[in-house]
Structure 1
């Protein structure tokens, strides 16, 4: 009886965790954040004419994020010509140590040419609206009738440590399927990385 109770509790907690995520098909609001590259405001709706928008949540200090630099560079290069825009959001801006300052964000973007745009989210309003809890984590949006619909959310692939080649390329597979007007086989996948520090 005790085992049954524990099992049921686990099912309930799992269900609550799923509901806390931005589910596929959910609509997320437009947002405006500061782009450290241009030193100007950037609004998501600027990309409304793209087929898909991939919002990647990153940070300067998280070691998991840095291990994805090359993979993100290749992803962006492979899909840019197919109407897929990439946006990078730092929800750690101003939280924790100096590594997450605007100055350090600018320096990192200058070192990593693919970080365009690189947006500061100091109030974490965008991360919260998409219910993102870790970095790196990706959310694929489809612009639809003036809104943005979540089509994929979660891990970039199955190899967060980057030691061996990844076997499951979740984000790449999701983008490929969506461009073919199909639903991703795995529309959500739990991300592994650094927890986002909350205010």
Structure 2
């Protein structure tokens, strides 16, 4: 497991569009059909990463708290399933159901979406405004496995609250940290 930070991406970068298979429904879902009225959070996650496992419950709480307020949440897994079979679509479905994911969990088989987003780690969080322009790309909060800091979602919640209250999202954004995306060779 290599600790990897998220990539630096300019604010207001447009969200790359995609259509990926939802492992729960088996249907293809596009960004435009899932975007939220007030904003959209795209999370690159996977099943086996200890950093994702550490925040899974907060991802569910966060989505449940904010989706009723006009925000949508989308999770994408882009890992190489040949080398990491625990991240295969059938296992993704198991994890989504076990954790009661209130958001679609999409499989990026060709890794093209992860490349388009310049995703680097799991978890990697992108928050786009209602025009699908990037306004936050950073960590969920300061908690990491074994650092003793409670998982609260503070940083991402502050960004969501700023939009909710018609304030500017802070330009001070700490990168997310986690396992690197498992790229195909």
Q: TM-score, normalised by structure 2?
A: 0.88
Alignment of 1:1-199 (within 5 A): 21-48=8-35, 50-114=37-101, 116-144=103-131, 148-161=132-145, 163-166=148-151, 169-186=154-171, 188-199=173-184
Q: Name whichever of 31-40 and 185-194 sits farther off.
A: 185-194
Considering fraction of residues, name the structure with more helix: 1
- Quote the offset at 1:168 in angstroms: 7.7
- Quote the offset at 1:95 in angstroms: 4.8
**1:125–1:21 Cα change, 3 Å:** farther
1:107 match: secondary structure:
helix
**1:112–1:40 Cα change, 3 Å:** same
Task: Report if aligned partners of 2:128, 2:135 keep a CA contact under 8 Å in 1.
Answer: yes
Q: Which runs of 5+ in 1 are unaligned?
A: 1-16
In structure 2, C-alpha distance between the alignment counterparts of 1:173 and 1:83, rounded to whole Å:
16
In structure 2, C-alpha distance between the alignment counterparts of 1:166 and 1:110, rounded to whole Å:
21
- Quote the offset at 1:49 in angstroms: 5.1
Q: TM-score, normalised by structure 1?
A: 0.82
1:45 match: secondary structure:
helix
- Quote the offset at 1:167 in angstroms: 7.6
- How many pairs were matched up? 179
**1:49–1:174 Cα change, 3 Å:** closer
- Quote the offset at 1:97 in angstroms: 2.2
Q: Which runs of 5+ in 2 are unaligned?
A: none
In structure 2, C-alpha distance between the alignment counterparts of 1:117 and 1:91, rounded to whole Å:
14
